[in-house]
Structure 1
């Protein structure tokens, strides 16, 4: 495999330095939680090799919510670990994958590192960042092993309909390939919530984690769901060769959080919907910005409609250096820098409002 660092990681706020940023609107999760904010005190756990698939209690909780069985769930090192296991176990240089773009970088970069053939289905602003299902079908070849989508979508916050999801399940079944659905943002939504895709058919794989919707990326806890036990055995073999098992501490924390899932999500969804309205009000006032309104997750992908003073590059430099405000430029997602990802779940409300005001000023300011 040929690894290359991803721009989104090279330019991440933790690499740049949090202390240099006043208004961090680049993050893609809710605010980072602490053990105390979650009301957790870690007990005197035995630090043994955990169950290789993941703790029985944790898998039971996830399976119950997804409408599958415990053995359909494999606990992984975050969603990134899940996606790595799937790609490296299912793809080779002789295989082909179809993937939507823009996308979370790992969904693209790991297949690239493997050296497989990739067909991109580019989502467009004018189409509301909705995939063209007929083009998706056109891209599938006899060598296609995986059709990869995200839902809700990162970085746009859009989502496909239930009808479109059912169509993709049927299409991939007909074409004898895997449908991989990255559902990391599924638990934060502003309307109808789709079912866990893997519950719909044996050839469908769902991936999720606690990083984005629960604010605990530091425990690196994700999972793979598939009803195909042959695939699960392969994924378990990969996990065992990477890490043998997961952390008993991480999985204890995850079990505690997910056992209180409904209470936590009720509060999170109410807060995120309120924040989304703040962003919507700003977009409606800001003549140099337009967007496709998100229906899930805590990010959106606004578009700059008029060239800022001095050009796009000057805008980003001014925004960071003068206004100490950070957003995710389009090139993080292989899109023009007229687009940027704005995360409204991680900053405080005051920081969110201050950051949006700074963007408006930086768009017009002619001084660096």
Structure 2
């Protein structure tokens, strides 16, 4: 029997996001959009909307439609000399299924896995459930939550099979710079270690510019075949409801192995989901969609920054540069708050919902909460207004 550890983030969300009148600033997706919203973003009026009613609802293309995989291939082929073949991309029901399939296929009891921490619990607890030994590559506030390659050298073992990163990072909002990624790739290549990069928040970069020399490319664009990326339409593309993700790798044998394992979990992704994703990633839609979400992130992170600055006596952070989440530390009389009780008290008294970091990411994060700030701006404004009233009354 596989031992499953409770998925604390998901259980907390399930418990509290149904609270009547909740001001949800725990959500990790960019503010969700409808099909109508998506069509309005299209810059070419001649392109038909998604969801053709004449399509017969068979299983469809087992590994994902050719059109969808071509559009994803173009994203991973930009600024590289060798395009990523479409057959090196596998479509899955969300990134959570993509990550699970990668780990289920490639990791076993004799393996050692290194995973950045804090991050999405699935990335380190699924390898544990499969019998692997897992070492946590700790992110530190004094390093702005950027992983340190020197720390990695102390963790690697003879049986290290995989190194797992999350870029941009959930929950810190930190971005791993290109120079650090290159050092990681060189390190892994020298030892023949697979690198899995959960890039579900890519390309939502709001604190670093594409013209910056350290702007991070995807891990599969860095010249090492044994790299894998996972992504989805949920976070940066505001379409969590279509449940569509993917796996990409330069190594065809990795994709073939995962595709074989995938036969035991799902036959194909819904044709309807595939159609919507293909439309969203078209040249006529993707730029407007990402522009909308990056601007939303910039607007909202500025609001959150003003809140942190205003209440700097009781809260602190490292300003995020990518993704949708950030850790904020709250203190009371110079000591970290009990973040679990703090989160419960805040939602009961103000309807503002966020996550306790010590429960969801480990006891070393006592006093921290994770905030998802790329919600609708008006929701964030009202949440921060209510949170300010709470802080004035209870922490000052």
User: What range describes the TM-score normalised by the shorter chain of this pair?
Assistant: over 0.9
Maintained 8 Å contact 2:114/2:163: yes
Q: Is there any run of 5+ residues in structure 2 with no aligned partner, and where? A: 40-48, 78-83, 210-214
Task: Please state how far the C-alpha of 1:140 moved relative to its aligned partner.
Answer: 1.2
Shift of 1:298: 1.5
Deviation at 1:137, TM superposition (A): 2.1
Residue in 2 that maps onto 1:343:
372
Moved more, 56-65 or 3-12: 3-12
The Cα of 1:63 is off from its aligned counterpart by: 0.3
1:264 aligns with 2:289: yes
CA RMSD in angstroms comes to: 1.9
| Cα drift, residue 366 of structure 1 | 4.3
In 2: Cα distance, 1:311 partner to 1:251 partner: 45
Q: Distance in 2 between matches of 1:62 and 1:75?
A: 10
Cα contact 2:331–2:337 (8 A) shared by 1? no
What is the TM-score normalised by the length of structure 2? 0.88
Contact 2:114 2:135 (C-alpha < 8 Å) held by counterparts: yes
* Matching of residues 1-368 of structure 1 within 5 Å: 1-12=2-13, 14-39=14-39, 40=49, 42-44=51-53, 45-67=55-77, 68-190=84-206, 191-192=208-209, 193-200=215-222, 201-259=224-282, 260-287=285-312, 288-307=314-333, 311-312=337-338, 313-330=340-357, 331-334=359-362, 335-346=364-375, 348-366=376-394
Asked if the contact 2:50–2:279 (Cα under 8 Å) also holds between the matched residues in 1, the reply is: no
Could you say what secondary structure the match of 2:163 adopts? strand
Contact kept? 1:21, 1:326, Cα under 8 Å: no
Taking the aligned partners of 1:161 and 1:151, their CA distance within structure 2 comes to: 9
Q: 8 Å contact 1:28–1:345 — kept in the other structure? A: yes
How far is the alpha carbon of 1:311 from its aligned partner? 4.8
Q: Distance in 2 between matches of 1:314 and 1:264?
A: 38
Give the distance between the partners of 2:150 and 2:64, measured in 1 at CA: 38
Give 3-state SS (helix, strand or coil) of 1:302's partner: strand
SS of residue paired to 1:301? strand
Query: Does the Cα contact within 8 Å between 2:161 and 2:193 map onto a contact in 1?
Result: yes
Q: Deviations over 1:11-30 (max 9, x none)?
A: 11x44343434311101111
Name the CA shift for 1:112/1:362 in 2 (closer, same or farther; >3 Å).
Answer: farther
Q: What is the rounded CA distance, in whole Å, between the counterparts of 2:254 and 2:382 in structure 1?
A: 47
Q: Deviations over 1:76-114 (max 9, x none)?
A: 111111110111111111111000110012112211211
Deviation at 1:41, TM superposition (A): 5.2
Specify the SS of the correspondent of 2:236: helix
- Taking structure 1 as reference, are residues 225 and 307 closer, same or farther at Cα in structure 2, changes over 3 Å only? farther
Contact 1:315/1:363 (8 A) holds in 2: no
Q: Which ranges in structure 1 are unaligned for 5 or more consecutive residues?
A: none
CA contact (8 A) 1:308 1:315 kept: no
Q: TM-score, normalised by structure 1?
A: 0.94
CA–CA distance in structure 2, aligned partners of residues 208 and 323 of structure 1: 34
> Taking structure 1 as reference, are residues 121 and 21 closer, same or farther at Cα in structure 2, changes over 3 Å only?
farther
Once the two structures are superposed, what CA deviation does each residue of 1:113-154 show, in whole Å capped at 9, x if it has no partner?
A: 112100011112222111121111221111111100111111
Count of aligned positions: 365
| 1:210/1:222 contact within 8 Å kept | yes
**1:309/1:365 contact within 8 Å kept:** no
Matched-pair contact (CA < 8 Å) for 2:62–2:268:
yes
